[in-house]
Structure 1
């Protein structure tokens, strides 16, 4: 099913880091068990943007099967019908040959507690690694449809 899920978001110098963290936490909090520590899950790296501006990159990875399945449930409960249909129609383009399924979500909407797909580069990037044995793109596509469609 799902091997792991990676999250990545960039906080620009013009943004409050706490607001960007709140947007990321919107995705992560429902996926954790009571014994998981949210602050230990998120890694923070300082960097430099394309024009030399300071940025902070926040990343997290869900590895436990239970956490990945909670993300799928969270996703099903919060995605709009319009975004679900868009995702279905774009599934072949979003699933690569390594069985990674890619999505982008609006940071601003996530900070407000809403799940919205976006094409913007100013987004929360989600990469879902699908596992099939043997490795098979068609089987992975069916799994993506079941979990996210």
Structure 2
């Protein structure tokens, strides 16, 4: 996720922490610094920005994140996600979602189509690689 120079970095970080704390079971007092990579970048017009990224690799935390997302989305967002599932699952079996940064800072999950959002990519592992099986797993997790 990108924190633009016009945004308060602590608020953007708070929005990311909303996801991380719910995925890992950390309390609001726990520091998530070890989970977040911070990179200074330059925007398209030369403006300074900060890229925040994190990777959750433990299966139990990934399942917690999926449950958290599914249980906290509005019925309308769940329906949108369900209808868009095939388009959100790419050939590498990554399931793509975007969430509104402002809503996340306020403790709410709202799907977004904006490029200025919290991007969540969930790797759906199947062996052998099978898109149909991955789609069933996505439906089970988020449908």
Query: Shorter chain as normaliser: what TM range?
Result: over 0.9
Q: Which residue of 1 aligns with 2:55?
A: 61
What do the CA deviations read for 1:39-95 (whole angstroms, capped 9, x no partner)? 100010001000100000000000011110110111121011100100111111110
Alpha-carbon separation, structure 2, partners of 1:126 and 1:106: 11
Pair 1:120-2:114 in alignment: yes
Structure 1 ranges of 4+ moved more than 3 A: none
Which consecutive residues of structure 1, in runs of 5 or more, have no partner in the other structure?
Answer: 1-8
User: Cα distance, 1:37 vs. partner?
Assistant: 5.8
Task: State the Cα deviation string for residues 16-59 of structure 1 (Å, max 9, x = none).
Answer: 0000000000101011145x962100010001000100000000
Distance 2:115 2:63 in 1: 26
Q: Which residue of 1 aligns with 2:34?
A: 40
SS at match of 1:125: strand
1: distance between equivalents of 2:70 and 2:85?
Answer: 16
Of structures 1 and 2, the one scoring higher in RCO (CA 8 A, sep 6+) is 1
Corresponding position of 2:140: 146
- 1:16 aligned to which of 8, 26, 40: 8
Deviations for 1:72-124, whole angstroms, at most 9, x for unmatched residues?
Answer: 11112101110010011111111011101000000000000000001001100
Q: CA RMSD in A?
A: 1.2
Q: How many residues align?
A: 140
SS of the residue corresponding to residue 26 of structure 1 reads helix
